[in-house]
């Protein structure tokens, strides 16, 4: 499980295109759920798929959000993901939902990554923040 961002956004141009690239790279998968959505106001896609790996089935769930820079500079994808053995999916999905609910996108000229009252990483762009439970 994790959260990351990537600046491959201009190469792909949309969350759907980025997902197509990820699914192609994953190889043979069974897509269980897929839908377009909005995540914190950004165009996004949510997917859940299953893949056989080494005799075991692994389920992956992702939310991919696409932020377009107004001047086509530094557009970015934000990805929240979970990958877990199928028998553990139901329990691990609960944690995934907590992580998803605890992350928010902030707009502002000097946004910061914040955990409670501590500023961890100043930034001048849109950022994900954690909201600990």
Confidence band for 60, pLDDT divided at 50, 70 and 90? very high
Residue 109 resides in a domain: no
Q: What is the pLDDT of residue 55?
A: 87
CA-nearest of 18, 51, 45 to 32 is 51
Structural domain for 11, as ranges = 2-103
Residue 124 resides in a domain: no
**Beta carbons within 8 Å of 119's beta carbon, 6+ residues apart:** 112, 113
> CA 40, CA 26: separation in Å to the nearest integer?
27
Number of domains within the chain: 1
- Evaluate if residue 127 carries a pLDDT over 50: no
Q: What are 70-120's pLDDT values in tens digits?
A: 776 678 889 999 999 999 999 999 999 999 999 887 765 444 444 443 333
Residue 126 resides in a domain: no
Q: Span 7-18, mean pLDDT?
A: 82
Kindly report the average pLDDT of the chain as a whole number.
81
Q: What is the pLDDT of residue 37?
A: 96
**From the centroid of its chain, how far is CA 62?**
6
Residue 67 resides in a domain: yes
Residue 132 resides in a domain: no
Q: What is the pLDDT of residue 105?
A: 76
86-104 burial code (b ≥16 CB/10 A, e <16): eeebeebbeebeebeeebe
Residue 90 resides in a domain: yes
> CA 84, CA 91: separation in Å to the nearest integer?
10
Q: What is the CATH number of the domain that holds 40?
A: 3.40.1000.10
């Amino acid at each position: 499980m994790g959260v990351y961002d990537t600046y491959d956004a201009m190469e792909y141009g949309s969350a759907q295109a980025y997902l197509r690239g990820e699914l192609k790279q994953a190889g043979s998968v069974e897509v269980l759920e897929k839908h377009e959505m909005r995540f914190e106001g950004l165009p996004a896609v949510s997917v859940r798929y299953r893949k056989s790996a080494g005799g075991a089935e692994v389920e992956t769930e992702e939310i991919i959000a696409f932020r377009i820079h107004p001047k086509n500079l530094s557009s970015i994808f934000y990805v929240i993901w979970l990958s877990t053995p199928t028998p553990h999916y139901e329990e691990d999905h609960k944690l995934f939902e907590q992580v998803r609910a605890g992350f928010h996108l902030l707009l502002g000229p000097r946004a910061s990554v914040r955990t409670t009252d501590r500023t961890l990483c100043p930034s001048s762009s849109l950022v994900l923040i954690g909201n600990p439970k």
